[in-house]
Homo-oligomer: A and B are copies of this chain.
C-alpha cells in the first residue's frame, strides 16, 4: 500500500454538504439584490444548492465565458453541457428555426431524427446499431439497467465507489456518491475507485479486475446473478481517473467472461471530451453492449440516448413498449444535430486534445513550485488536479474548497470532486483556447499564493 493509499484509507469522506455550496447563514453578507433572489429561492425547497459563498447570477453566456448582472466576465472551466460553447450561433439558430416550424413526437415520421441517428451511430463501433432517445442521462441509465437485466436475466449491477449515474429511484440506488441518505440497492456491487495516483497507473487494471471478480463472487453468494458493469470511463465523480488509454479493456473483457454486459456511461466522457477519441470507451478500444449519453449532446436542450446492439434492444422491445414524449422530438433533434455538426466542422475533438495537453503542461509547470499538487491527470479537457499534504499524503479537502472560492474571486469557475473533495475538476466548454488556459493558470497561481499552498 502506498503512503497516499494509507492516508486516504484513514481520511474522512467529504459529504455533498461540505462541497462547494452557498451557506444560507451567510445571507447577510450579500447585496440586497442577491439576498432577495436567494430568499425567493426558498420556493424551490432545500434541495436546490447554489455554488459559492457568494453565489453568481449568470445572465449571459458566449463561448467559454459567462457574464453576471453587472457584465462581469467569468471564465467558465466548469460547464460541460455547453460543450461547443455557450449559445453557439449554429445551435441557437437550429433551435429557433425548428421551434417555429414544428415540435411533436416520434409517432409521426420526421426526417431529422433519422439524419441525426445515422450520423451519430456512424461514430460508434458497427455492433452498436440501434439508438433510442430519452431526455436526461438519468433516464438513459435507468433504461440501460433495465435492458441489461432483461437480456442477461441477472439483477446485479456493478459500479465504482463514488459513482454517480443519475437521479431516478433505480439509478440513485447505484450512485454511491449521493451519500448515506440514499440507500444503495441490495443488488449493487461496488468496486473501489480506480485511483491511479494511489495504486499506480500500471497496476490499476489488475487491481480493478481482481476487485471485480471478487464482487461478482460475493453477489453470487447472495443469489444475485451479475447483469452488467456501469461505468464512466473517466471516473469523473470518483475523482477523475482516466488512466492510460487502453487499461479499461481488461475490465470490459472480465465483464463479458462473467456473462454480463458492459454499459458505457458516456454522459461525461462522450462527445469529444477526452480529445483522444469521440467516445470515452473508444479511448480504451472497448466495444460496449450499451452506451448511454446525455449532457453535452444538444448543447443544453434536454436530450439523451441509449445506443444498443440490436439483439439486446430487440429482446427488451419484444416485451416492453417504451415511449418517451419529449425524447427525440424535432427541437431536441435539431439542437443535437447542429451540435454534432459544430463538433465536426470546428474539430472540437482536436481542440480538446491540443488545449487539454497544453493545459496539463502548464499545470505541471505550476506544480514545480507548489508541492501540494500531488497529481495532474486527465484526458483532453477533463482534467483533475489532486492536492495531498506533501508530508503525509493526506487529502487536502478544506484547502481545495478554499481554492475554488479563491478562483471564483478571480473570476474563474471551476469545481472539485472525489471522495475527499481534494481534486480540482477542470471541465470547460470544449471551445476553451490557449488564452483561456493562461487566464486559468494565472488565477490558480494567485489563488494558491493567497492561501499559502
Q: Which residues of A contact B (CB under 8 A)?
A: 16-17, 34, 37-38, 40-41, 43-51, 55-61, 66, 79, 81-82, 86-87, 89, 91-92, 95-96, 99-111, 113-114, 117-118, 121, 129-133, 135-139, 142-143, 145-146, 167-170, 172, 178-179, 181-182, 294-295, 299-303, 308, 310, 313-314, 316-329, 331-332
24 contacts between A and B (CB under 8 A): A44-B117, A45-B308, A45-B310, A47-B323, A50-B109, A57-B111, A58-B104, A59-B101, A61-B101, A61-B103, A81-B104, A82-B104, A86-B103, A92-B99, A92-B100, A99-B301, A135-B136, A136-B324, A136-B327, A142-B168, A179-B320, A181-B321, A301-B331, A302-B302
Tell me which of A109, A131, A328, A332 has the highest count of chain B C-beta atoms within 10 A of its own C-beta.
A109
Tell me which of A103, A139, A314 has the highest count of chain B C-beta atoms within 10 A of its own C-beta.
A103
Expressed in whole angstroms, the minimum distance between the Cβ of A78 and any Cβ of chain B is 9
> Is the beta-carbon distance between B325 and A137 smaller than 8 angstroms?
yes
> Is the beta-carbon distance between A131 and B43 smaller than 8 angstroms?
yes
> Is the beta-carbon distance between A324 and B86 smaller than 8 angstroms?
no
Q: Which of B57, B96, B130 contacts A44 (CB 8 A)?
A: B130
> Is the beta-carbon distance between B320 and A110 smaller than 8 angstroms?
no
Task: Determine the chain B residues whose CB is within 8 A of the CB of A55 once the complex forms.
Answer: 108-109
Query: What's the Cα separation between A86 and B99 when bound, in Å?
Result: 9
Task: Determine the chain B residues whose CB is within 8 A of the CB of A135 once the complex forms.
Answer: 135-136, 139, 302, 326
Query: What's the Cα separation between A114 and B50 when bound, in Å?
Result: 14
> Is the beta-carbon distance between B130 and A314 smaller than 8 angstroms?
no
Q: Which of B60, B118, B146 contacts A43 (CB 8 A)?
A: B118
> Is the beta-carbon distance between A102 and B44 smaller than 8 angstroms?
no
> Is the beta-carbon distance between B132 and A47 smaller than 8 angstroms?
yes
Task: Determine the chain B residues whose CB is within 8 A of the CB of A108 once the complex forms.
Answer: 50-51, 55-58, 66
Task: Determine the chain B residues whose CB is within 8 A of the CB of A100 once the complex forms.
Answer: 87, 89, 92, 96
> Is the beta-carbon distance between A325 and B169 smaller than 8 angstroms?
no
Task: Determine the chain B residues whose CB is within 8 A of the CB of A310 once the complex forms.
Answer: 45
Q: Which of B37, B86, B121, B313 contacts A114 (CB 8 A)?
A: B37
Query: What's the Cα separation between A323 and B81 when bound, in Å?
Result: 14
> Is the beta-carbon distance between B131 and A181 smaller than 8 angstroms?
no
> Is the beta-carbon distance between B114 and A40 smaller than 8 angstroms?
yes
Task: Determine the chain B residues whose CB is within 8 A of the CB of A168 once the complex forms.
Answer: 139, 142, 168-170
Query: What's the Cα separation between A61 and B100 when bound, in Å?
Result: 9
> Is the beta-carbon distance between B103 and A300 smaller than 8 angstroms?
yes
Instruction: Contacts A49-B321, A302-B303 known; list 9 others, CB within 8 Å.
Output: A34-B109, A45-B310, A46-B318, A47-B316, A47-B321, A50-B107, A87-B101, A170-B170, A302-B327
> Is the beta-carbon distance between B58 and A110 smaller than 8 angstroms?
yes
Expressed in whole angstroms, the minimum distance between the Cβ of A101 and any Cβ of chain B is 6
Expressed in whole angstroms, the minimum distance between the Cβ of A12 and any Cβ of chain B is 18
Task: Determine the chain B residues whose CB is within 8 A of the CB of A295 once the complex forms.
Answer: 325
> Is the beta-carbon distance between B40 and A313 smaller than 8 angstroms?
no
Task: Determine the chain B residues whose CB is within 8 A of the CB of A46 once the complex forms.
Answer: 313-314, 317-318
Expressed in whole angstroms, the minimum distance between the Cβ of A174 and any Cβ of chain B is 11
Q: Closest B-chain residue to A164, C-beta based?
A: B323
Q: Closest B-chain residue to A179, C-beta based?
A: B321
Expressed in whole angstroms, the minimum distance between the Cβ of A4 and any Cβ of chain B is 28
> Is the beta-carbon distance between A110 and B57 smaller than 8 angstroms?
yes
Expressed in whole angstroms, the minimum distance between the Cβ of A351 and any Cβ of chain B is 21
Tell me which of A45, A91, A310, A329 has the highest count of chain B C-beta atoms within 10 A of its own C-beta.
A45
Closest 6 CB pairs of A and B: A181-B319, A96-B96, A302-B302, A57-B109, A103-B300, A169-B170
Query: What's the Cα separation between A17 and B45 when bound, in Å?
Result: 42
Q: Which of B34, B169, B182, B329 contacts A142 (CB 8 A)?
A: B169
Query: What's the Cα separation between A113 and B38 when bound, in Å?
Result: 12
> Is the beta-carbon distance between A323 and B167 smaller than 8 angstroms?
yes
Query: What's the Cα separation between A331 and B91 when bound, in Å?
Result: 13
> Is the beta-carbon distance between B324 and A102 smaller than 8 angstroms?
no
Query: What's the Cα separation between A329 and B294 when bound, in Å?
Result: 15
> Is the beta-carbon distance between A178 and B102 smaller than 8 angstroms?
no
